[in-house]
């Protein structure tokens, strides 16, 4: 078997990371003030643009093909989820937050249910902790596969036809969705987690199906590297493009693969263990270059690590009950205690936090969601100026935003 190519980090480009010029990031500052001579063209990227991964609008001021200033406008998918969660009961909230990050709904459910459990001091059984870890890692692979397909599609014809990598990754993603469909009955939007555990136990034959699926994907990750990473055009379009300074990333609250690609070794699964992660050994991939290629390397390494975790976990799930409480079906049947709880999990895009303030009724007083993509999108005013329009598309794709959780 060939060696996986993106296991080794590429060398960081020579020279310092370009310093950030603050005026570019100020949305209210007229570009004429720092570029009076520029004959600028104003252009809207989005809201309906195939490369923005959803409905996202960036207003660009272009000097020729080079961007001078970029202002992102989120809010085209604002569905008022946090307001909606104030009028719904605890039982009704998990299927709503599923739709926030619709590429990894399992991890959304996990975050919100863990917050409710911390609030009410519910101890989750050990088997359910392992099942949650298994589901989260399975979901992470599916999410990264979707990112890989759309990221390669953003590159367009450079990779041997616009949609070839997309077709490859979606072939594997469908098999992951099949596993979830067997487990929970839905392709996504599972509503399988509840306060105190899970609703669905794994069915018969599930372990064999998961093992077969993920071993296939592990072999196929080498194919992806051969198709994408070894492609000289891909390398030249991503290397040094969209470089994120570690200091800037920390300032803006960026987390997840983007932070790890900038050289900061931080992963909540290892550093603040939740579910069954405390009993597992997790290798966290870190790159120092901070560019789009480094983010590709980090996500591919994470995908391999998640596949390894899934294959390790699937045989070692302990026996026992899957839910500490009796799963309720009536919306008002569960009453929470008064108080506050903040829980963060490490999703495919970074730290997904849920802060719940409760007043002791069956409804939460306030539910705040901290989406990782929202903080990643704050990078755009800093990354876009100075790069060409085609590089902005690559940068956007490498940030892997999900607009459902940016606007929520």
80 binds other proteins, rule: CB under 8 A: yes
Pick the binder of other proteins from 9, 12, 84, 122 (CB under 8 A). Answer: 84
Window of 45-53, 201-209, 294-302, 337-345 that interacts with other proteins by CB under 8 A: 45-53
260 binds other proteins, rule: CB under 8 A: no
Give how far Cα 312 sits from Cα of 137, 217, 408, Å. Answer: 11, 15, 34
Of 401, 397, 394, 386, the C-alpha closest to 31 is: 386
79 binds other proteins, rule: CB under 8 A: yes
382 binds other proteins, rule: CB under 8 A: no
263 binds other proteins, rule: CB under 8 A: no
Residues 218, 307: contact at Cβ < 8 Å? yes
Of 392, 407, 408, the C-alpha closest to 52 is: 392
Phi then psi for residue 225, to 5 deg, are -65, -40
Pick the binder of other proteins from 102, 206, 355, 365 (CB under 8 A). Answer: 102
Pick the binder of other proteins from 99, 211, 308, 368 (CB under 8 A). Answer: 99
Site pattern 50..69 for other proteins (x: CB under 8 A) = x---xx---x----------
Cβ neighbours for 86, distance < 8 A, ≥ 6 positions apart: 363, 364, 365, 366, 367
Rounded CA gap, 383 and 373, in Å?
Answer: 15
Rounded CA gap, 290 and 248, in Å?
Answer: 11
b/e code 63-72 from CB counts within 10 Å (16+ = b): eeeebbbbbb
Residue 272: CB minimum distance to other proteins, A: 29
**145-164 binders of other proteins (CB under 8 A):** 146
Rounded CA gap, 328 and 89, in Å?
Answer: 12
Residue 102: CB minimum distance to other proteins, A: 4
374 binds other proteins, rule: CB under 8 A: no
324 binds other proteins, rule: CB under 8 A: no
Phi then psi for residue 286, to 5 deg, are -130, 135
39 binds other proteins, rule: CB under 8 A: no
Which residues bind to other proteins, rule: CB under 8 A?
27-28, 30, 42, 47-48, 50, 54-55, 59, 71, 73, 75-80, 83-84, 96, 99, 102-103, 146, 166-167, 170-171, 173-174, 177, 187-189, 403-404
């Amino acid at each position: 078997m060939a060696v996986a190519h993106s296991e080794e980090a590429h060398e960081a480009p020579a020279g310092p990371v370009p310093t950030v010029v603050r005026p570019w990031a100020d949305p209210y500052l007229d570009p004429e003030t720092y570029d009076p001579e520029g004959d600028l063209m104003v252009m809207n990227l989005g809201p309906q643009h195939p490369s923005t991964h959803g409905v996202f609008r960036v207003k660009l001021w272009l000097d020729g093909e080079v961007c001078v200033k970029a202002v992102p406008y989120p809010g085209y998918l604002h569905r008022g989820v946090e307001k909606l969660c104030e009028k719904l009961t605890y039982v009704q909230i998990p299927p709503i937050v599923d739709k926030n990050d619709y590429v990894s709904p399992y991890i959304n459910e996990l975050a919100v249910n863990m917050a409710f459990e911390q609030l009410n001091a519910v101890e989750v059984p050990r088997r359910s902790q392992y099942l949650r870890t298994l589901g989260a890692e399975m979901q992470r692979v599916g999410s990264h596969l979707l990112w890989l397909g759309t990221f390669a599609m953003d590159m367009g014809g450079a990779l041997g036809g616009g949609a070839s990598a997309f077709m490859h990754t979606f072939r594997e993603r469908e098999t992951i969705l099949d596993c979830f469909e067997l487990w929970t009955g839905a392709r996504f939007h599972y509503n399988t987690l509840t306060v105190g555990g899970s609703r669905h136990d794994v069915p018969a034959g599930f372990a064999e199906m998961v093992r077969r699926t993920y071993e296939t994907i592990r072999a196929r990750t080498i194919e992806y590297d051969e198709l994408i990473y070894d492609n000289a055009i891909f390398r030249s379009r991503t290397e040094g493009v969209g470089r994120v300074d570690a200091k800037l990333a920390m300032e803006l609250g960026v987390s997840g693969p983007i932070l790890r690609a900038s050289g900061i070794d931080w992963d909540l699964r290892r550093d603040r263990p939740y579910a069954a992660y405390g009993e597992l050994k997790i290798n966290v991939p870190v790159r120092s270059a901070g560019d789009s290629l480094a983010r590709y390397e980090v996500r591919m390494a994470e995908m391999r690590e998640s596949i390894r975790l899934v294959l390790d976990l699937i045989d070692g799930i302990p026996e026992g009950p899957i839910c500490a409480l009796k799963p309720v079906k009536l919306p008002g049947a569960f009453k929470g205690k008064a108080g506050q709880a903040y829980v963060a999990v490490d999703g495919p895009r970074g730290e997904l936090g849920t802060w719940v303030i409760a007043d002791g009724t069956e409804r939460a007083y306030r539910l705040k969601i901290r989406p990782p993509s929202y903080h990643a999108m704050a990078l755009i005013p800093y990354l876009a100026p100075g790069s060409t329009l085609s590089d902005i598309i690559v940068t956007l794709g490498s940030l892997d935003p999900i607009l459902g959780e940016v606007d929520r």
